[in-house]
Amino acid sequence: MTHNRQQWEALETNDLAPYAAHSAESLGRRFIEPPHPVRPCFQRDRDRVLHSRCFRRLEYKTQVFVNGTADHYRTRLTHTIEMAAVGRTLARVFRVNEDLTETICLAHDVGHSPFGHRGEYVLNDLMKEHGGFDHNLQSLRAVEKLEYQYPGFAGLNLTWEVRAGLLKHEAAAPEAHLDGYPIGPFQYLEAQIADVADDMTYHAHDVDDGLSAGLITLDQLRELAFWKMAAARAEEQYAALDEDQHRRITIRNLLDLQAQDVLSEGRARLEEYRPERIADVMRAPRRMICFSSEMSGMLQEFSDFLYQQLYYHPAVADANSEAVELMRGLFLHYVERPETMGEKAKERLETEGLMRTVCDYVAGCTDRYALEECEKHCVCLK
């Protein structure tokens, strides 16, 4: 037996919680399109993101280490895929929409600049008198304006729910709106899950890459409460592990322990507030999906360690600093010579203005393409 769209939507009605986002009740798209005969709207959105150019470019964008440094370090793409897997699992347990959660996860970084967060800081500095730069807002801009796959409209024409999740998948200002609909003070559960899945993933996997690179050590990690908890759990699970096995199981437990904590805290808050529809979640006095205060404290220590010992390690910082300064030079080159940008970018100059068009073009570059363009246009470090 096969299912059509209406049958999938009926399954959602039967299986999802009343406070979940149901495909049949979506607030819709900016440009009206006939519904797909088989795929519900959020599944269709997921497929549009997966087939987009901005999603494919994540393969060559930095997560921690500049792309191409080694074969097994994570990129924006692998981080995104891992995050989507975590998000989908949490959505299933909380009985909310898996397709919507996964789509927000898959699209959350499509507006990210090359060279990681340092690249974002440089673009924001260059654009400080022209509206600034934020990768969350740029992700929304990418799917609304910068993709060009359809003849009838710019962008991917995603549903309101996906776009609202990208606008900010944390808490929104109480008065914030998108297309006339409120998105605050808190996002719906699928967006809250995407937000926490992002944190969960990098807490576990950036440590893995840092250890593989030799930039952080097990002795350093053994001083951290969260690592101690995960390591003790590994020893309870397996009687005899060599150091490499112990490390891998401990890293796996970093993710599992976060998931268990989020599930426990989320269940308690849902039980306390008993939301009956999406609006109840969005107007709740606090978030429904988050870490407990105990876990938040351990993760703050863990995150501080990652920033001090990994993200700002000289081997990472020096390579990233050199790359982002080249990116700064490339940005200024395009400002002076906009005719050297791609054809689609040049077509937007009249409507978007010079600075925003250059910002869009540089933000869309992969690490590799940005460096190639620097070489092509003789952009070098001063």
User: What residues make up the domain containing 243?
Assistant: 5-376
Q: Is residue 208 a part of any domain in this protein?
A: yes
* Nearest-angstrom CA–CA distance, 331 and 198: 29
% of the chain exceeding 90 in pLDDT: 73
* Nearest-angstrom CA–CA distance, 292 and 272: 15
pTM, full prediction: 0.94
Question: Tell me: the pLDDT tens digits for 55-99?
Answer: 999 998 877 765 555 556 788 899 999 999 999 999 999 999 999
Q: Nearest 5°: phi and psi at 177?
A: -135, 155
Cross-strand bridge partners of residue 181: 178
Given a cut of 50, whether residue 109 has pLDDT beyond it is: yes
pLDDT band at 177 (very low <50, low <70, confident <90, very high): confident
Which residues does 232 contact at the CB level (< 8 Å), separation at least 6? none
Q: Is residue 382 a part of any domain in this protein?
A: no
Find the helix packing angle between 243-273 and 189-213, rounded to 10°: 160
Given a cut of 60, whether residue 324 has pLDDT beyond it is: yes
* Nearest-angstrom CA–CA distance, 194 and 139: 14
Q: Nearest 5°: phi and psi at 271?
A: -70, -35
pLDDT at 170: 44
CB atoms within 10 A of CB 34: 5
The total number of structural domains that make up the chain: 1
| Cα Rg, the chain, nearest whole Å | 22
pLDDT at 168: 63
Residue 344: which H helix or E strand, with range? Answer: helix 343-347
CATH code for the domain of 324: 1.10.3210.10
Q: Nearest 5°: phi and psi at 133?
A: -145, 130
Token pair for residue 304? Answer: 């501080």
Check if the beta carbon of residue 23 is closer than 8 Å to that of residue 99.
Answer: yes
For the chain, the average pLDDT equals 91
Q: What is the mean pLDDT of residues 111-127?
A: 91
pLDDT band at 369 (very low <50, low <70, confident <90, very high): very high
Cα separation values, 216 from 120, 209, 231, 309, Å: 25, 9, 16, 7
Q: Is residue 381 a part of any domain in this protein?
A: no
- What single-letter amino acid sits at 370? A
CB atoms within 10 A of CB 134: 16
pLDDT band at 223 (very low <50, low <70, confident <90, very high): very high
Check if the beta carbon of residue 338 is closer than 8 Å to that of residue 382.
Answer: no
Ranking 152-166, 179-193, 245-259, 272-286 by mean pLDDT, the lowest is 179-193
Question: Tell me: the pLDDT tens digits for 12-43?
Answer: 999 999 999 999 999 999 999 999 999 999 99
Please give the full DSSP string across 6-31, using - where no structure is assigned: HHHHHHHHHHS-TTSPPGGG----SS
Which residues does 192 contact at the CB level (< 8 Å), separation at least 6? 169, 186, 287, 288, 289, 290
pLDDT band at 217 (very low <50, low <70, confident <90, very high): very high
Given a cut of 90, whether residue 169 has pLDDT beyond it is: no
Cα separation values, 199 from 204, 263, 282, 300, Å: 9, 15, 21, 11
- What single-letter amino acid sits at 231? A
pLDDT band at 161 (very low <50, low <70, confident <90, very high): very high
Question: Tell me: the pLDDT tens digits for 351-362?
Answer: 999 999 999 999
pLDDT at 171: 46
**Strand segments (E) across the chain:** 177-178, 181-182
Cα separation values, 285 from 34, 182, 267, 296, Å: 38, 16, 16, 19
Question: Three-state SS across 199-228?
Answer: HHHHHHHHHHHHHHHCCCCHHHHCCCHHHH
% of the chain exceeding 70 in pLDDT: 95
Cα separation values, 116 from 84, 92, 143, 274, Å: 19, 30, 20, 39
